[in-house]
């Protein structure tokens, strides 16, 4: 098995800076978005980026529990997309 802890320890701090910058921009877009679809897209991007970041931390810390959390967050974001798409098509909530 290949030991990737050195590579992860080197690149995770650099990638963290990129993720924090993108999180900040997504939160600004979510709060100030000119339209509702812009706000929804910001929440969607924030959810998927957070899932990827948690998955990266799971690799760094070598724990499957964080990977499970990342998977659940990505599934929640996908269901959120489906719900919003259904609402935008039919203009009604629920069943």
**pLDDT, tens only, 67-87:** 999 999 999 999 988 888 888
The answer as to whether 37 is a domain residue is yes
The answer as to whether 75 is a domain residue is yes
How many angstroms separate the CA atoms of 64 and 67, rounded? 5
The answer as to whether 89 is a domain residue is no
Domain count across the chain: 1
The answer as to whether 95 is a domain residue is no
The answer as to whether 77 is a domain residue is yes
Per-residue pLDDT averaged across 9-38, rounded?
91
**Among candidates 67, 53, 69, which has minimal Cα distance to 18?**
53
pLDDT over 90 (residue 48): yes
**pLDDT, tens only, 53-66:** 999 999 888 888 99
How many angstroms separate the CA atoms of 69 and 75, rounded? 10
Q: What is the pLDDT of residue 2?
A: 76
The answer as to whether 56 is a domain residue is yes
Residue 77 structural domain:
5-82
């Amino acid at each position: 098995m290949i030991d990737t802890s050195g590579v992860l320890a080197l690149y995770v701090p650099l990638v963290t800076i990129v993720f924090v910058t993108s999180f900040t921009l997504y939160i600004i877009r979510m709060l100030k978005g000119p339209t509702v679809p812009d706000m929804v897209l910001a929440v969607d991007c924030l959810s998927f980026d957070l899932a990827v970041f948690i998955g990266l931390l799971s690799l760094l810390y070598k724990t499957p529990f964080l990977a499970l959390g990342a998977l659940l967050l990505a599934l929640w974001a996908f269901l959120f997309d489906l719900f919003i798409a259904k609402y935008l098509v039919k203009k009604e909530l629920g069943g």
